[in-house]
Amino acid sequence: MKVAGPGGSSGGAGAAAQAALEQKLNRLKEGLEKARNWRIRAEERKDQLERQRLEVVEEIRRLGVEPEALDAEIEKLQREIEALLAEAERLIPWDLLRGE
């Protein structure tokens, strides 16, 4: 003997509840699969970026600079550029060029 559901009917309500549960389960399965795919893509991207980082570190070292000293090296090079520009500015005979 079947017990009547909240709507008073024994057959339709049970089937509808079953269908709703299956729909939720399928939605959860799809979500889980999408999350897995995102995780895989994120791990692949992380690996790619790590390889690139190591290549950059290797190139920096090849240029004779330790990565930890990179900021100081950049500041040093900027000062050298400014000094060379100032020297070039000083060496140009501006007073003679103005007369042209």
Average pLDDT for 37-56: 98
Locate the domains of the chain by residue range.
Answer: 12-64, 68-100
Average pLDDT for 66-89: 96
| Backbone phi, psi, residue 52, to 5° | -65, -40
Q: Would the pLDDT of 1 be above 50? A: no
pLDDT at position 11 is 67
Nearest to 67 by CA among 55, 79, 82: 55
Percent residues over pLDDT 70 in the chain: 87
Average pLDDT for 92-99: 84
Please state which of the ranges 27-41, 50-64, 67-81, 84-98 shows the lowest mean pLDDT.
84-98
